[in-house]
Structure 1
């Protein structure tokens, strides 16, 4: 059994090409194959060292899988691999147009909190914005290799994703 620390990164660990536009079914297959090999139950009769390594591998595989399957986490991870920290805790500066759109969405949510059709329409708009940002991220990371731009886009996508969750919760409360 291999040691997880021998892998340079999560992409290498799963045998996947490092890119934002990831084949999620290939990720699923690689994850399941590794989990099948390293699942702690499979090594229950092994030495303490073998059991410990199996647990470390399973834990590493879970962390790697969760990171790579989520587009925001995957993007942040790729930026990090290239020495770019998105500074999520300290850098909250956003373009004025982005902030205006966020304010507009929040006002719509507050004004139409009891109107299911209006909230569903707003949800479609927000999901469209997320999809456009994902396309821009793919171009910034996989195309231009512009990790600074990707970090900016990811900071914005985090805001949009959080708002989308709040909107989903509001819709769920009406259904």
Structure 2
């Protein structure tokens, strides 16, 4: 059971029939995902041989992994850079501009001191705005300028922002309990 047009050699963007870019139409991604899922869902292969069922499971897994990668801006940026042979060096290159690190410390202090949901709401809204600015800058570096070294630096910053969002969510949980 090889769904029409399914090819394990395709990159995630090709799999979903989308342009290979950081800027992404989320609605289109969701539509293509649902369409592919109807083709490759394991339930559709229950009547097939064991080998064909394994292949169907691999197809389904590839579709799910590709979808999870493309729908998350940090993962999508990493993936785009990997397609260009660029390592973001997130584990080894932790050097960041001093002003960015100072801002991160201020953010974390504000989150730690937040004792009210409204304060966390405000921090979360501000983080969301700043993340969007960073993602727009990343789109420019990846899609327009093809400046992959600068894009890798922005990915490292975006990772900090994602961790900060997790800390804010943990702070919500702490206030709720």
Please, what TM-score do these two structures have when normalized by structure 2? 0.91
Structure 2, unmatched stretches of 5+, are none
Q: Give me the CA root mean square deviation.
A: 1.5
User: Counterparts in 2 of 1:113-132, with a 5 A limit?
Assistant: 113-132=114-133
In the alignment, the residues of structure 2 paired with residue 115 and residue 45 of structure 1 have an alpha-carbon distance, to the nearest angstrom, of 55
| Correspondence for 1:158 | 159
Q: In the alignment, is the contact (CA less than 8 A) between 2:111 and 2:167 conserved in 1?
A: no
State the 1:39 CA deviation. 1.1
| Cα separation, 1, equivalents of 2:67 and 2:116 | 38
Alignment partners' CA distance in 1, 2:14 and 2:25: 14
Aligned residue pairs: how many?
173
Match of 1:70 among 69, 72, 84: 72
Is the CA contact 1:120–1:171 (under 8 Å) kept in the aligned structure 2?
no
Contact 2:12 2:66 in 1 (8 A): yes
Following the alignment from structure 1 to structure 2, what is the Cα–Cα distance between the partners of residues 71 and 21? 9
- What corresponds to 1:146 in structure 2? 147
Q: Would you say 1:5 and 2:8 are equivalent positions? A: yes
Between the aligned partners of 1:162 and 1:102, the Cα distance in structure 2 is 10
Cα displacement string for residues 90-144 of structure 1 (whole angstroms, at most 9, x for unaligned residues): 111111110010011122223x321333333222222221111011011111111
Specify every segment of 5 or more residues in structure 1 that has no aligned partner in the other structure, as ranges: none
